[in-house]
Amino acid sequence: MKTFLQEIAQDIIRNYPGKLGDITIIFPNRRAGLFFREYLKQELNGPSWSPQVLSFQDFIAASCPLQKADQLFLVHQLHTIYNQQLKTREGFDRFYYWGQMLLKDFDDVDKYLVNAQNLYTNLSRQKQLDLSFDFLLPEQKEIIQRFWQGFDESKSAQKERFEFVWSHLFQVYRSFNQQLSDKGLAYEGMQYRYMAEHLEEIPFKKNNRVVFAGFNALNAVEDKIISWCLENLQADILWDMDAYYFNNEHQEAGTFLRQYHKRQVYAPSFPETIPSSLTEVSKELVLTGVPQHVGQAKILGQKLGALLKEHPDLDIRKVAVVLADEALLFPVLHSLPEEIEAVNVTMGFPLSYAPVNSLIEHILELRRMARKDPDGLVLFHFKPALAIIRHPLIIQTDVDKLEEWANDVQRSNKVFFTTSELPEHALIKMIFSQDLGDLVDYLSAILLELNALADPEKNTIEVEYVHQYYQLLNRYADLLRNSDTTIELKPFAALFKQLVRTERLPFTGEPLRGLQIMGVLETRNLDFEHIFVLSMNEDFFPSQGGKHSFIPYNLRKAYELPNYDQQDAIYAYLFYRLIQRASSVNFFYNTEGNDLGGGEMSRFLQQLLHESNLPIKVETLANYTEPGSEQVITVNKDDDVLKSLSRYLNTGQRIQKRLSPSALNTYLDCRLRFYFRHVADLYEKSAMEEDVDARSLGNVLHHAMEILYEDYLKDKTSRTLVKADFKELKTKLESAAVFAFRKQFSIAPDRKFYFEGKNIIAKEIIKDFMQAILKLDEQYAPFEIVGMESEHVYDLTMPEMETAYLDAYKIPGESTMSVALRGTIDRIDRKKGQVRLIDYKTGQDKHVFNSIEELFDRKKKNKAALQTFIYALLYQNVKDEGEALVPAVFNKDALFMGDDVLLEYKGQGKVTNAAYYLEPYTEQLQLLLKEIFDPETPFDQTDEVRKCTTCAYKGICGR
Amino acid sequence: MTDRNFIIYQSSAGSGKTYTLAKEYLKLALRRPAYYKHILAVTFTNKAMQEMKGRILQKLEEFGRGDLDAMGEELMLYTRLSPSDFQKTCARLLTEILHGYSHFSISTIDSFFQKVIRSFAKELGLAGSYQLELDTDVILIQIVDDLLMEASQNVQIRKWLISYSRDTLQEGGNWDIRKNIIQLGSELFQEHFKTVEGQVAAQDKGLAGKLKKDLGLITKSFEEKMKSYGQEGLQILHKYGLETSDFTGGSRSPLNYLYKITKPKASKDFIPTKTVEALPDKEEWYAKASGKKEVITAATKNGLRAILQQTLEYYVKEFDTYHTAIQVNRFIYGYGLLADLARKLQEYKKDNDIMLISDATRFLKELVQDSDTPFVYEKVGSFFNHYLIDEFQDTSGFQWDSFRPLIDDSLSQGYKNTVVGDIKQSIYRWRGGDWNLLLNQVEEDIGSFRTQVENLGTNYRSEANIIQFNNALFEQAPQQMTLEGGDNRAEGWEVLTEVYASAKQGIPKSKVNAPQGYVNITFLGDEEDRPWKHTVAERLPEVIEELQDKQVALKDIAILVRRNKEGKDVADYLHHYQKQNPDSQYRYDVVSNESLFLSSSPAIRLIIAALQCLMDNKNQVVQAQLAFEYQVQIRRSCVSYHEIFSADYAVIEKLLPESFRENRTHLLFLPFYELVEQLIALFEVNQLKGQFAYLQTFQDLVLKSSQNGKGDLPSFLEWWKERGARQSIKVADDLDAMRILTIHKAKGLEYNAVIIPFCDWEMDHQRSPIIWSNAETPPFDNVYLPLKYQKGLAQTHFRDAYQKERIKAHLDNLNLLYVAMTRAIQTLWVFAPDGKKDISKVLKATLENSTFELNGYWDKEANVFEFGEQNFQFATTHSAVGNAILMEQYPHYEWRNKIAVKQTSGGHNLSEEVKEKIRYGILMHKLLSRITYLTDKEAAITAVFFEEGLNEIQRREIQQRLEKLLSNPSVSPWFSDEWEVKNEWPILTHNEEYRPDRVLIKGKKAVIIDYKTGLKKNEDIQQMHGYKVLMEQMNYDEVEGYLLYLAGEEIVEC
Ligand code: SF4
């Protein structure tokens, strides 16, 4: 099957041998030209000047004396004028989108040669509509009048707002045009209109041939110019069409062509018989439904691979992958089959995907979240800071140093820090500069530095991204400087986001090598044998973009501006034309929508299914999915594990490790967690915490109380606190609390520390706790502080532990074995023969327990009681003869609700001397330890998933 | 002809709602070919929308072929067309719709609203570029954290937060109030909040502060008063040397009340028991055998009785107020913060240029009420005469307010409008649905004189036995629900029976004669060590096997659960079972969109661990996890767990793929999407076939995050931490596996066999929502206040609001039962707990009731209800799975070396100076290519200025350079207009295309000029020779060639 361009190439060579250089061929877009020359070459023997090949747009731009300015510049101009005319002060960032829409409307108005003054007038009071608008048909007049009469009948707020803007638009349009042409500039529509009004300036020579090829929906200017050429020059126009949609008046794809066919000027250019390849070329049509997007790319890869295997000699240039949703470019590139040697991508890389974009976003965020300390020093928040340091573009400049620094920040809980705390690194210093200066200069300098730092050999794409970004910024800065607007962070960020969204970075390509990957619009005039179209959904094909306009639908219709019906018709043509000559077409569409739409198969596929009578295969991707299952992890106590466990045994030699109450608590919570932490020594990461949470608050309280009392006692001769001491103690609360926070966050003494956000609250809460403790203590005084946060050890003999494995670790000659325990007692105090072993608790701990066994019961256990009893065990040999050991828990109930601090054995009363219970307690403890060391009891996961929510290993367990 | 143009169809389950809607649509659309453009049908879900579109197209195609079913016949009669005309009309309409598809307005309510809002963005003062945001949770977390940060600067907020925290702590709660704030903050997104938003926004913490104070006074004075009563009473006891245990009841004597109220632990301690209440009226306060009768009598006489009486009187008078204060107090701090949160939300939306779905409804409401219908359409470009609204019971008040003026307008012009709904299937109230609209309000709003209510009374879905069972069940269940859950004294419960009054459905004649269908409801009790759910788990495979024996296709089996979590449990269990029984001849494959979480996929866990590892390579736990997942899942190696978990850094590294270890740094440089692709390949997770769907979905998320700006590793991981766990996969409809889905999602669907494994949801609210109300008593009367829905409210001034909500909650849960029970076509299996106070109790009470129509099928002994024909065979599995295709492998392609990006920035490995020169060289090159003759100079500069994005300084620079170059005496003649110029004009040969920069032609003479931006190279001369040869071949006699080195302005003649 000959392609459309091939046909033209052959025709031209046949008809104008040796005179190719004198011919001008105009296509709707540039891309067709590239392919066209390729076909020409195939027909040539010796060298020859190429015909001049242009897109219509290039042709206009080349002919028009007004230069086209870029979008950003135009919208910016428009913004200035708009604000002047409407006397508003809308910011550029807010205006940008709306400005683009307005520009697009102006573009349409010009390309369709609409009289802007008429359009932008409220015609309700225009009595002589008939006179001054004689170019309109009666129907059109009626629509317009009806529209405006609505405004007379009732005036809603929306209408008023609409009319207010509307009534100024002609002025905006006029001065916009004026200002541009004064500078020799134009937007595209303006160029078009200029040329339509200056036909005599069209540069073609009388005796040269002009061929227009492959046009479908002509705008008024194109129509005017082409007809003029056909009438006045040696010009031809060649249509690409198929009987399928041309002859059937219901097919919107043929709407325009049928209209042209009826026009005298075009009629002769239509052939006698319209080709009907669509139905005559035999085709394999497959529709594949795929849940979501990336899957389409993957299944495309599979099908493409199969195609290449089936036809090893296939000329890959005859295969095209068309992306209706360009976002699928990356997924497609990553999913091609190995056999593909080369790829040609016609659409650009979206700049917003580029790493540089996320970097700049983080930098803007950094500056947005920065704050000043009382001395005016700028402080940076760790979150964006870490994101910047770990950003691919940054970290690669000095991996070791930066990674270390980032880890360091993460571990040391620096929520805010300043420039001097950063690693020595030029780029970093630049980003984290104290003085932001001019925002654009600041960003430009960073981008330039990035560009300079980039490794020239690798990452070319990334470097190009940076460059493109820099250009964009540069242009923007230039505009702003000229209009002396000050650049504020927020609007700048907002606008830049919008700008970046639409930027694309072109690929190079030898367009005619390899697999073609293209967007829908780029397929114009091109034919392929095998076509794969992705995202064949209603929301992408026909494209939903570009439909927004401030000109109401009815007025568009009345003035014959294109409306969405026309746009749909254009896409219909693109669709059928694309497949008409192909021999196989695979369509992929997303089957999953949400309530905002999506997931609906394209209407064009519906049309094919319901009316084409072509054989079509419909299929769905339906891979079976294994349900995710819980990760079952059980670690058996093999020799290595036992060896590691034995470190907690007293074997007569050095004791390597000791078990703490919290380790035992961990074991009761979950055996596996105990294993990870205390046997495998897999340490939990101390995650960066911006502020204290429920767990760390307890630590802060411990620190605070220790500091408060120890500091105070330092200067005293006795360690006894009497009631009079508390007055002074109370004054030291604040400083002790601050100190405790610094300690918790390991903040070096020379560093500043500020309370921010939640920590402000936490500090107050800590002070509340401290105050309450002081109050209790004041009542209890006088008493002696024996120790704060003091560490004690104890070796518990285990008479019944005589398993084979343990023998290996036994002290020769001894028949028992002991387990090494340790514990840090929050506070020990003494009063009249009562030694209190105190635990501070900020959580939900309770005083009451029902039995000693219950303390070790996984489901019911009482952490505070378990712990304070171990304290008693650890301390029993230290205490003086005759002293009673009293476990005491300072918890919320005791501190704020007036409860007693003592434990309460339900039914047996308060625990006033731990000694009564130590025996049964020790027995239970031994049972627990026996289990821990029992080779037959593996380390397994807890059944109570609730325990997992705060577990550091939940990633491993998948919980 | 009636004026009743507003038709309400009441459509019970299976009554052919889509059928009716399609028929109604066609009745209108068949009037004339393009008339369909004037009909708008809205549905709630995308699925329903597609189903309706599909149905209409399919019917038209059939009728267009002359293939008429009952609907076709009816429509033909309705249109009064001859068969052949009818056929033609239908075919024609199909064509019209297919080719005017943008006007085929069947749309979800949200997308319709969006469309309208978009076109009014300017008038509504929206930045047009806004994106729609669906995930409000992320925003909420963000703004709450922002608010907490604000405590650093804003004293008022700081103080408020601190007292909030302190109070919560001292009342035994967690001082960390972030969660509480988030909970109340989620109200910001609710429609009912929007109605009080103005009130909240208008106040500062002053109002809340004052209220807070008032509440404090109320509670304090009540507590003190009660305490003083208590103490007085106790003093009397003391005076008489009595203990409370001396009175009746002994240690549990009612007089303990006196103690309680002096030291209350919670507000409920004030509530007297029945015995306490009865005490004042009782003569003797002592036990018969008491030895202290006299003293007690004396004490009672001398004040004790009077005190108790006073206490109780005071209690009765004041407790409600007190308790109201307690309840209001819960949220008073949060309430004070709502205005701040609302402000933060506004800022957030503005800064991030987003709009929320809930905003759209509000905007539209304003728009429609403020504007007149035609203008709305002028902008949108659609002109609707008729509206059809589906699932009307789920419509929210705002949504209705948006439609009402449109419908009003339409009706007043004599057009027909239709809504379809069923209150019995209203289960989306938590999302804003308001069934009261359907029950009463629409008719009131529209006017009864214009309204006609039609009941779609026949069930076409289910087999006769299923219909009969449901008819019987729901005839009684509402009463049972009222009995079990309700309070007979409370008003309003009759709404349950009212709603279900029309539940009885007709059975199509074809099914009556040979009734089919099977229902089994089994009640299971907890046994020792064996909760009833374990028993269900064991029975489940049996049921599934039995169904397979009957030739039911897997995809025709649905397992309905109340919550996603239960779905996951079932999936886990069946998966486990399948593994345990590899030789079973049955299949147990299940899928579900809702229950298959990404976080439970080993493949995804591995990738996430790898990402975390890249972020922080010192994190041992993550390292170990990565090594573990990789070794166990992918390598299936037999390295011992301990070896992995106890390994140090160096060893762990060895357990990871080599290519990962070595490319760590390189990986970090990649754009995020690409990074994930690489990890999939490096760790070979694409080898796991059962994981493809997870990978696909995961990559979709990655792609989306790349599109949203912050597509990088740290941002993604942060997002994943917050939201990742809730993401689940999307599976295709065609998959041959059993479906697990929630009852909510099952609404509107049908399956041959339905299994409800856990019929045990609550009768009342599961999670207590927040309700907004005000009361008549001061100080609660002037504002709407947020309250936690809970029993306690019954004893406050908010009891009416509470009762109303309670009734609604019960109806919701009854409706869930209705929806669940009516999904089945052929077989329905239900497992329910025995003896629990939840929906199963209602179910059982109904079955047991002797007036229950099918009571005869209730087997009390076995605790089973069984009805219908169990021994059936499915003739054919009527849904073939023929067109499903499989993904064989999960391809990965290294595209970077197969493609390049256009270099615009010039070379890189050169000195700065040279780079600069080259850069200008490139610019000059571009300039020159635009200049044919000298007169083009200015235009060329302008063009390059815009194309290259130059700034003014650069512009001046190139201008100077150009002037200088063109004034060079050897160069300037090349630009004189005596030449015919071919700028970058291609020369074609059979294989190649050449493009000399500039060729000057005069007759047979040609001058070739090539601009060079780099340093001088030999190849340049060779290239020029090549050009000359070409020109000679093209018959130019006299050919000259020049190289112009732009950097140094040097000319070389060749
Ligand atoms: S995640 Fe759960 S099961 Fe795993 S170690 Fe932690 S607590 Fe144990």
Q: Whose CA is nearest to atom 1 of ligand 1?
A: A954
List residues bridging with A531 in a β-sheet.
A320, A585
Lowest model confidence (mean pLDDT) among A576-590, A763-777, B696-710, B875-889: B875-889
Min mean pLDDT across A659-673, A788-802, A848-862 is at A788-802
Q: Using the beta-carbon criterion (under 8 Å), do A621 and B707 form an inter-chain contact?
A: no
Tell me the pLDDT tens digit for each residue of B990-1004: 888 899 999 999 989
Q: What is the mean pLDDT of residues B490-498?
A: 86
Percent of the residues in chain A that have a pLDDT greater than 70, as a whole number? 92
- The amino acid at A150: G
Is the Cβ–Cβ distance between B118 and B360 less than 8 Å?
no
A278-348+512-620 shares the fold of A4-65+203-275: yes
In this complex, the residue of A44, A162, A463 whose CB is nearest that of residue B123 is A162
* Cβ A37 vs Cβ A53: under 8 Å: yes
C-alpha–C-alpha distance, residues B417 and B385, integer Å: 8
Give residue limits of the domains in chain A. Answer: 4-65+203-275, 70-186, 278-348+512-620, 352-505, 639-687+790-957, 694-786
Q: Which two tokens stand for residue A235?
A: 């010009």
Closest CB to A456: pick one of B622, B884, B908: B908
Q: Which positions in chain A touch B44 (Cβ < 8 Å)?
A: 595
Choose from A10-24, B81-95, B762-776 the range with maximum mean pLDDT: B81-95
User: What does A677-737 look like in DSSP terms, one character per residue?
Assistant: IIIS--PPP----SS--HHHHHHHHHHHHHHHHHHHHHT-S--EE-TTHHHHHHHTHHHHH
What would the pLDDT profile of A23-49 be if each residue is shown by its tens digit?
Answer: 999 999 988 998 999 899 989 988 999
CA distances from A507 to B921, B946, B1032 (A): 22, 20, 35
Window A:419-458, CB contacts with B under 8 Å: 451-452, 454, 456-458
Q: Which atom of ligand 1 is nearest to the CA of A941?
A: 3
pLDDT of residue A437: 81
3-state secondary structure of A62: helix
> Residue with the nearest Cα to atom 2 of ligand 1?
A948
Minimum distance, in Å, between the CA of residue A293 and any CA atom of chain B: 6
> CA–CA separation, B962 vs B972, rounded Å?
11
Q: Which of A370, A333, A407, A944 is nearest to A673 (CA)?
A: A944
Fill in the amino acid letter for A249: E
Tell me: the pLDDT tens digits for B534-557? 999 999 999 999 999 988 999 899
Return the percentage of chain B with pLDDT > 70, whole number: 95
Residue B907 has pLDDT above 60, yes or no: no
Distance in angstroms (rounded) separating the CA atoms of residues A9 and A487 = 54
Beta strands in A98-233 (DSSP E): 185-186, 209-213
Does A666 contact ligand 1 (Cβ within 6 A)?
A: no
Distance CA B748, CA B390 (A): 11
* Residue of chain B whose alpha carbon sits nearest to that of A22: B982
Distances in Å between the alpha carbon of A514 and those of A314, A694, B803?
Answer: 11, 60, 71
- pLDDT tens sequence across B740-786: 999 999 988 999 999 999 999 999 998 888 888 888 887 887 778 88
CA B250/CA A908 separation, integer angstroms: 21
pLDDT at B662: 84
B residues 142-201 lying closer than 8 A (beta carbon) to A: 145, 148-152, 158, 161-162, 165-166, 169-170, 172, 174-178
DSSP annotation string for B505-567: -B--HHHHSS---EEEEEEE--BTTB-HHHHHHHHHHHHHHHHHHTT--GGGEEEEESSHHHH
Which of B:715-734 have CB within 8 Å of A?
715, 729-734
What is the rounded average pLDDT for all residues in chain B? 87
Which of B903, B929, B919 lies closest to A508 in space, CA to CA? B903
Secondary structure class of B616 (helix, strand, coil): coil
Residue B36 has pLDDT above 50, yes or no: yes
Choose the residue to mutate in A941, A943, A944, A956 for probing ligand 1, maximizing ligand atoms within 8 Å of C-beta: A941
Mutate to test the interface with B, among A95, A172, A302, A334 (most CBs of B within 10 A): A334
pTM for the full predicted model? 0.89
Q: Omega before A392 cis (within 30°)?
A: no
Query: Which residues in chain A have their CB less than 8 angstroms from residue B589's CB?
Result: 624
B378: left (phi over 0), alpha (psi -120 to 50) or beta: alpha
Query: DSSP readout, B768-789?
Result: --EEEE--SSTTSSSS-EEEE-
Q: A858 CB under 6 A from ligand 1? A: no
Q: What spacing in Å lies between the alpha carbon of B599 and ligand 1's midpoint?
A: 16
Residue A607: list chain B partners with CB under 8 A. Answer: 98-99
What CATH code is assigned to A278-348+512-620? 3.40.50.300
| pLDDT above 50 for B909 | no
Task: Assess whether pLDDT exceeds 60 at residue A690.
Answer: no
Question: How distant is the alpha carbon of residue A760 from its chain centre?
Answer: 31
| Cβ of A635 less than 6 Å from ligand 1 | no
Q: For residues A939, A941, A943 and A948, what is the CA-based torsion angle, rounded to 10 degrees? A: 130
Is residue A400 within 8 angstroms of chain B, CB to CB?
no
What are the CA-CA distances from residue B941 to residues A75, A481, B673, B925, B931 (Å)? 21, 20, 39, 12, 9
What distance, in Å, lies between the first and last C-alpha atoms of chain B? 95
How much of chain B exceeds pLDDT 90, in percent? 40
pLDDT in tens, B812-821: 999 999 999 9
Return the HEC string of B286-324.
CCCCCCCHHHHHHHHHHHHHHHHHHHHHHHHHHHHHHHH
> Which residues, 6 or more positions from B238, have their beta carbon under 8 angstroms from its beta carbon?
none
* pLDDT given for residue A509 in this prediction: 59
**Complex ipTM:** 0.90
Residues of A in contact with B160 (CB under 8 A): none
CATH fold for domain A4-65+203-275: Rossmann fold (3.40.50)
Calpha distance B1030→B1032 (Å, rounded): 5
* Spatial contact of A249 and A61, defined as CB atoms under 8 Å apart: no
Distance CA A283, CA A581 (A): 9
Residues across chain A:
959
Whether residue A487 is predicted with pLDDT greater than 80 in this model: the reply is no
pLDDT at site B902: 57
Q: What percent of chain A has a predicted confidence (pLDDT) above 90?
A: 48
What is the rounded distance in angstroms from the CA atom of residue B674 to the CA atom of residue B687?
18
How far off is chain A from B188, nearest CA to CA, in Å? 21
* Protein residue with least CA distance to atom 3, ligand 1: A941
- By the 8 A CB rule, do B168 and B127 touch? no
Contact B357, B132 (CB under 8 A): yes
How high is the pLDDT of residue A97? 87
In the numeric block, which tokens belong to residue B559? Answer: 């397992």
How far apart CA B351 and CA B340 sit, in angstroms, is: 16
